[in-house]
Chains A and B, each alone.
Chain A
Amino acid sequence: MRNEQMSATSVHPSTTAQPKRHPSLKETIMNIQQISVFLENKPGRLANVALVLRDSKINIRAMTIADTSDFGILRMIVNKPELANEVLKKAGFTVKLNTVVAVEIEDREGILFDIMNLCDRIGLNVEYIYSFVEQYSNKAILFLRFEDGDKAIDALVKNGYKLLSNEEVRKI
């Protein structure tokens, strides 16, 4: 388990840094880059992150914090994920770039059930989920982290859901 984790961290930044070499659809378009930051539960930590992002003119599209009594994890979708990764690391934070799936959905009742029901039927385990509502377009975006991302993408596409690419998310 731990080894997978470690190889994922070491491999990922290099692939994103490399020039395009016919990347697959899944790699570049449907896996949305997300920045995760480890934060201790104490005053001022979030402000420090925000300051670093402000100074590098990075804009946050969506964010969420998961926390325990001791620590929290800040997860963000930003307009410049590689830059955010670099500047936060430089500022001494433990940061991880990883991927989530962004699904554009109609902003209406019952849509969350439809998606969760689909996941349940085909045995997809959701690690976490957060959402973002578009103000002017009657659309919402769900950011989902699946245990098995590739399988999830296949299933969602097959069932007619619209997945967003990195470019689309940045334009929100």
Chain B
Amino acid sequence: MCCTAHFTIQDLSGHTRTGTPSNSSIMKIAVIILLIPIFDSSQTSISNTIFFLYFQMNHTKYYVKVLKTDVQRALTRINLFTLERAMIWNREFETMGRKRLTLLQTKRLQNLVRKVYVNNPFYRAKMVAAGIKPTHIKDISDIVKLPFITKTEMREVYPYGLLSCNINNIVEIHTSSGTTGKPVVDAYTKKDIDIWSEVMARTLSMADVTAHDRVQNAYGYGLFTGGLGVHYGARKIGAMVIPISGGNTKRQLQVMQDFGATALTCTPSYSLYLAEAGREEKIDFAKLPLRAGLFGAEPWSEDMRTEIEEKLHCKAIDIYGLTEIIGPGVASECEKQDLLHVFEDHFYPEIIDPVTGNNLPDGEKGELVITTLTKEGTPVIRYRTRDITYLVHDKCGCGRTSVRMHRILGRTDDMLIIRGVNVFPTQIEEVLLKMDGIEPHYQLIVERRDNLDQLEVQVEVNEAAFSDEIRKLEQREKQIEKELREALLIHAKVKLVEPKTIARSEGKAKRIIDNRVL
């Protein structure tokens, strides 16, 4: 491989040196060539133990962290030089100092508010009702003066109520599944797609995906944001995309082997399902080139991460996004696999007390609220996600300065996420109420069996529904299952139980038993 590499070496005290070695086919040799003179000449002045180095090769930026001890070792045994490669896709924005970032966010928020005030009757009405004018926004912290927006409001203005630009500028549409009512619409301008590609490129870079990678994208393609979001990011990086979409496990495994996928994107539970199916087919994942996995769209845990990494032999990182904001690409873990960096130059996060609506300080759990600072098509101001988490403003070991959030800790409503699909108990209630002879007393049991979420709906049998023939009772179960499938888009097993066996309490019955060990 012949290439020209441009190096910039920077120690923590800010000294930088650059160089362009003419022939550096092996990256690590190049690093050594460049580091040796620095190390030799200024040994006394380098007190830090870590060097940061980034360079560009074949239009790809590489970011390298080198330990001083590695350099010492390299001086004596050049071939044993090791380095940990990590990459920041957009150093300018991802490592921006807080002061500059605040100024940028302020400017972007002011632009956004001005634009929606002029172009969007829905937002203008909300602001007028709250007595807010665009001129009142003097700093990003003034964001608290703006009214929240809820999912219900978004639905009420379906389909184009959030549109804040000329419809001719929209180049693509995505929506939520709409299982609980009208779907939420995401309309993207060309620039919005660019932003989406950018934040997904950052996300993929955090999992160390580069132009040399082959990304097996097992998120669903279509109106759902997952598939195309990853697709655009991988294309931006220059990686090869395998757009296999969701499902068809046998084919996923075949493709993974045949094309030598190095990165996998899907829900965490599906990745384990794949691992299990692969084991049955005697696939040794250790021998496959797969090394990175980006998993999201449903809650998971540290234990699951360990299991995925052990079974699939890849590094697993948690990614976060939601259709209401842009899709995937709102936040992501870096290689430290600790908290999720929020791409706050585009998506401004707040944590509020879900009852009072007041902002909460760092480290305190509350509801995540997001504002899209740069989106043109369907901007969203202070969206109440109903997701519970907390924020941390400190510097991450990876070098990024962006605020980080903990993985989602829960919900402020009773929404369940089952196999990546959002399910509300009220949807189930509606289905049951529509059916003759079925009591609206039900209980949901969620379990994770064979790494897939299983939803069981227990329904009480009353006199009218009771037939003394097994066949008819089973038909009844099947019929409820069919109706539920149409409403929820996922399969739920229906189990008939004796009347009065589902606990009733004075207020809200205990309807959900979530036995998933995350």
Contacts and interface: CB of A to CB of B under 8 A. Distances in A.
A15 interface: no
Interface string B469-506: 11011100000000000000000000111111100000
A92 B500 CA distance: 7
Interface string A91-118: 0111110100000000000000000000
Interface stretch (B186-194, B293-301, B318-326, B458-466): B458-466
A94 B437 contact: no
B50 to A, nearest CB: 60
Interface residues of A, number: 27
Interface string B366-402: 0000000000000000000000000000000000000
B468 A40 contact: no
B412 interface: no
A6 B437 contact: yes
A130 interface: no
Given A92-B500, A94-B466, 6 more contacts: A6-B464, A70-B495, A70-B496, A96-B463, A96-B467, A98-B468
Interface string A30-64: 00001010111000010000000000000000000
Contacts of A96: 463, 466-468
Interface string A1-16: 1100110010000000
B436 interface: yes
Given A2-B437, A39-B498, A68-B474, A94 B468 contact: no
Interface in A80-98: 92-96, 98
Contact of B463 (A66, A68, A94): A94
Contacts of A92: 498-500
A68 B467 CA distance: 14
Interface in A106-164: 127-128, 145
Contact of A9 (B463, B474, B495, B496): B463
18 contacts: A2-B436, A5-B467, A38-B473, A40-B498, A68-B473, A68-B474, A70-B496, A71-B497, A73-B468, A75-B468, A92-B500, A93-B498, A93-B499, A94-B462, A96-B466, A127-B469, A128-B469, A145-B469
A94 B499 contact: yes
Interface in B283-330: none
Contacts of B495: 70-71
A98 B469 CA distance: 11
Given A2-B436, A6-B464, A9-B464, A94 B469 contact: no
Contacts of B467: 5, 96
Nearest to A67: B470
Contacts of B496: 38, 70-71
Contacts of A6: 436-437, 464
Nearest to B498: A40
A149 B24 CA distance: 92
Given A2-B437, A40-B497, A94-B463, A71 B473 contact: yes
Interface in B421-468: 436-437, 461-464, 466-468
Q: Which 8 A-B pairs have the closest CB atoms?
A: A36-B468, A94-B466, A70-B495, A66-B470, A40-B498, A6-B464, A94-B461, A92-B500
Contacts, number: 62
Interface of A: 1-2, 5-6, 9, 34, 36, 38-40, 45, 66-68, 70-71, 73, 75, 92-96, 98, 127-128, 145
Nearest to B468: A36
Indicate the size class of the contact surface on chain B. 20 to 34
A70 B496 CA distance: 7
A73 B470 contact: yes
Interface string B195-208: 00000000000000
Nearest to A98: B468
B499 A68 contact: no
A98 B497 CA distance: 21
A40 B466 CA distance: 13
A98 B472 CA distance: 15
A39, A93, A94, A98 interface centre (most CB from chain B within 10 Å): A94
Contacts of B437: 2, 6
A1 B462 CA distance: 17
B462 A40 contact: no
Contacts of A145: 468-469
B515 to A, nearest CB: 17
A101 to B, nearest CB: 14
Nearest to B462: A94
A128 B470 CA distance: 10
Contacts of B462: 94
B447 to A, nearest CB: 15
A121 B210 CA distance: 76
Contacts of A38: 461, 466, 473, 496, 498
Contacts of A67: 470
A38 B499 CA distance: 9
A67 B496 CA distance: 12
Contacts of B498: 38-40, 45, 92-94
Contacts of B474: 68
A68 B474 CA distance: 9
B76 to A, nearest CB: 69
Interface string B403-428: 00000000000000000000000000
Nearest to A93: B498
Nearest to A74: B468
B466, B473, B501 interface centre (most CB from chain A within 10 Å): B466
A145 B462 CA distance: 22
Nearest to B499: A94
A5 B122 CA distance: 52
A5 B436 CA distance: 12
Contacts of A68: 470, 473-474
